[in-house]
Chain A
């Protein structure tokens, strides 16, 4: 438990150090890209899709898990794609003009 807390705290500091100064141009893509990363909950959501041994019928956990998978995938796919689209516009211009 202490290990997990340590990891959490160190990761927060690491994040702050890593990003530190962001040019305003990247504020939106950083936000949407980081948001896609927070869709990592998908990994957690997958656990809830367990078929629980003798239960042939879907359990409440299954249904909630499926909804969680749906929400997390929207987050991941939507977030990465839209960030890619935005950054593509920034990049295209630099080369083009």
Chain B
């Protein structure tokens, strides 16, 4: 295991020293060998992606992918050291620093912070792509300035033997800058929202969409002008810097109007972008390995994006336009007042748990915030020991990233079989004694079924309200995401336990053990 993760380091330090100009035919043979190495890496990546989507094979798949990465990087260093003397300081410096930062972060990050971690990783992938594109542009300026006046960047790029051919090089170079930069700042904003360093609320203002649209057009126009317009090579950096800056700003503006609860979609989409950006870099460098791997990642991100959108019964466009529920909140301000809400204490919950034979937990983002996954599992253990069936109902968009709840509960050693997907468990609520909702809100809101006018209408929910008793552990009645009232709280079979999920369950657990 350890070796694999140090893969890039090993590759950097152990591969052959730059060769002393080997014979031409020998070089060609080695280059072909390296193409074969790339092919092997592609095949391994394809296998790994397939196996990453099955529980049994996923762990092996991840290791397979890291092996493929090692092969690819070793191959790349091999081929580059043949055609050009490499400056090892840059490679070793970058790889060692990157491996340290990435490795330490991966070791110490708590599972509760996984959405933030994934957001930052997406951002680093995106930034790598646009930096490579900028570096290629920088390399090209030398050649470009020697060309007759009036030559475009696209023409200069097509003179570079190391790159692909045709106008596609210029187009994809610009696209890697744009997509990479948008991915970087978009991910940073997502990180800010997830970590609470900035407000998780949607930030909307008048004229936002026209502004974004105009800025998008301006960015594209500037990029095209840089590629194909009448730009002098000595001004190329100003243009490139301008285009990058515009794209960075665009990334921020695109993500700020999207609220915290829509983050699963945003993260999946940025994940897809980071893959597409890598693919674009592959076009620039005429490297099939990059094109294929990037496309695979792009596709997997798209699938997750679609799954997340389906789970909210909303279109991708609707999510991206942001400000979800803002209008509903404004129009239905008076509707967020609750009547007939019954509250209970943790001691009452312990009493209630005393006689039940089936319990379903519904975890949500509040569970993650309260770090209540361990105490939940302890409580479940006590209940199971008393002969009660315990299961967890997992809504696809519970939490702040795809699969967020599964990761948290896995950390607390909750047996995998106890986690049940929405479609499988919905029919069972009717026969369940007690449902405990832990920091979830919209995913159990019956309004989605009953009120066709509600912004939630049509969103598949967990049918918690059908259980004999429901206890909602929540810090306050405060409006959930975007102020949509949760009618579940007014149901006759529903009790509210106003507390932090962790503290409430700890008290319940003590009472239960003492009884």
Q: List 16 A-B contacts (CB under 8 A).
A: A7-B292, A15-B303, A16-B299, A26-B58, A27-B402, A35-B274, A46-B73, A47-B162, A52-B84, A74-B105, A76-B66, A84-B1, A85-B106, A89-B407, A91-B59, A97-B413
Report whether B138 and A60 are in contact in the complex, using a CB–CB cutoff of 8 Å. Answer: yes
For B300, the chain A residues whose CB sits under 8 A away are 15, 19, 30-31, 34
Report whether A77 and B91 are in contact in the complex, using a CB–CB cutoff of 8 Å. Answer: no
For B61, the chain A residues whose CB sits under 8 A away are 33
Secondary structure of the A contact surface, majority rule: helix
Q: Which one of A14, A19, A62 contacts B303 once the chains associate, using CB atoms below 8 Å?
A: A19
Tell me how many residue pairs across A and B have CB atoms closer than 8 Å: 416
Q: Which of A28-43 contact B (CB under 8 A)?
A: 28-43
Which stretch (B117-125, B145-153, B247-255) binds chain A? Answer: B117-125
Report whether B131 and A22 are in contact in the complex, using a CB–CB cutoff of 8 Å. Answer: no
Report whether A1 and B165 are in contact in the complex, using a CB–CB cutoff of 8 Å. Answer: yes
Q: Which one of B53, B121, B293, B303 contacts A79 once the chains associate, using CB atoms below 8 Å?
A: B121
Most buried by A among B66, B72, B307: B66
Chain A interface residue bracket vs B = 35 or more
Tell me whether B403 is interfacial, beta carbon within 8 Å: yes
For A35, the chain B residues whose CB sits under 8 A away are 118, 121-122, 125, 271, 274, 297
Report whether B118 and A11 are in contact in the complex, using a CB–CB cutoff of 8 Å. Answer: no
Most buried by B among A26, A32, A84: A32
Report whether B49 and A62 are in contact in the complex, using a CB–CB cutoff of 8 Å. Answer: no
List the B residue with the shortest CB-CB distance to A15. B299
Q: Which of A72-92 contact B (CB under 8 A)?
A: 72-91
Report whether B406 and A25 are in contact in the complex, using a CB–CB cutoff of 8 Å. Answer: yes
Most buried by A among B142, B277, B299: B299
Report whether A7 and B288 are in contact in the complex, using a CB–CB cutoff of 8 Å. Answer: yes
For A82, the chain B residues whose CB sits under 8 A away are 105-106, 109, 114, 117, 121
Given contact pairs A31-B267, A49-B91, A90-B410, A25 touches B102 in the complex (Cβ within 8 A): no
| Chain B 479-506: CB-based contact to A (< 8 A → 1; otherwise 0) | 0000000000000000000000000000
Chain B interface residue bracket vs A = 35 or more
For B54, the chain A residues whose CB sits under 8 A away are 23, 26
List the A residue with the shortest CB-CB distance to B114. A28
| Chain A 58-72: CB-based contact to B (< 8 A → 1; otherwise 0) | 111110111111111
Shortest distance from the beta carbon of B247 to any chain A beta carbon, whole Å: 15
Report whether B164 and A1 are in contact in the complex, using a CB–CB cutoff of 8 Å. Answer: yes
For A24, the chain B residues whose CB sits under 8 A away are 394, 396, 402-403, 406, 421
| Chain B 5-45: CB-based contact to A (< 8 A → 1; otherwise 0) | 11110000000000000000000000000000000000001
Given contact pairs A30-B53, A72-B125, A41 touches B132 in the complex (Cβ within 8 A): yes
| Chain B 86-128: CB-based contact to A (< 8 A → 1; otherwise 0) | 1100110111011101110111010100100110011011011
For A69, the chain B residues whose CB sits under 8 A away are 90-91, 93-95, 98, 128
Q: Which one of A46, A77, A80 contacts B76 once the chains associate, using CB atoms below 8 Å?
A: A46
Shortest distance from the beta carbon of B97 to any chain A beta carbon, whole Å: 5
For B142, the chain A residues whose CB sits under 8 A away are 52
List the B residue with the shortest CB-CB distance to A82. B106
Tell me whether B69 is interfacial, beta carbon within 8 Å: yes
List the A residue with the shortest CB-CB distance to B58. A87
Tell me whether B356 is interfacial, beta carbon within 8 Å: no
Q: Which one of A14, A38, A79 contacts B294 once the chains associate, using CB atoms below 8 Å?
A: A38
Shortest distance from the beta carbon of A76 to any chain B beta carbon, whole Å: 6
